[in-house]
Structure 1
């Protein structure tokens, strides 16, 4: 299993728009075989950092998802929404593997 950790810098004036964007992506990741653990928006402290976590069975499965998402109309609409609203300033993506008891 591989878990994708996304760290976003968001526009604090557009948190509602980012939340809408997040809600678009959760079912999309799941539709392509991933397991989404949710988005985590600012509550206290820094008001411009948000996170998302989701997993795929393997890096190859994640790469297939990325290829399919690049041509999927719903995914493209979500990307366009973020661009149009300017809710995302930047993001970083890293991959981790979980350790369970």
Structure 2
């Protein structure tokens, strides 16, 4: 299993657009073989940071999902929310694996 951790810097004035963006991506990840663990939004402290966590059974499965970026209409529509609203200022993606016993 591989888990993608996406660390976002968001525009706090556009949190509703970010929430809609997140809802779309949760559905897309789950529909295309992954398990989305959710988006975590600001509550206290820094108000411009959000995190998303989702997993795929393997990096190969993740790559198959990534092939849909820029091609699939549902993926394009989800990105359009981000692009049109400007809710995401920056993001970094990191891949993690669980520690096996």
With normalisation by structure 2, the TM-score equals: 0.95
2:37–2:54 Cα contact (<8 Å) kept: yes
Q: CA deviation at 1:28?
A: 0.4
Paired residue for 2:96? 96
Which residue in the other structure is 2:51 paired with?
51
Question: Residue 69 of structure 1: SS of its match in structure 2?
Answer: coil
| Alignment size in residue pairs | 101
- SS of equivalent residue, structure 2 residue 81: helix
Offset at residue 100 of structure 1 (A): 5.6
Moved more, 69-78 or 82-91: 69-78
The runs of 5 or more residues in structure 2 that have no matched partner are none
- 2-side partners of 1:37 and 1:65: how far apart? 16
| Counterpart residue number, 1:80 | 80
For 2:35, the equivalent position in structure 1 comes to 35
Structure 1 unaligned spans of 5+? none
What TM-score comes out, normalization by structure 1 length? Answer: 0.95
SS at match of 1:63: helix
Alpha-carbon distance between aligned partners in 1 of 2:13 and 2:34, rounded to the nearest angstrom: 30
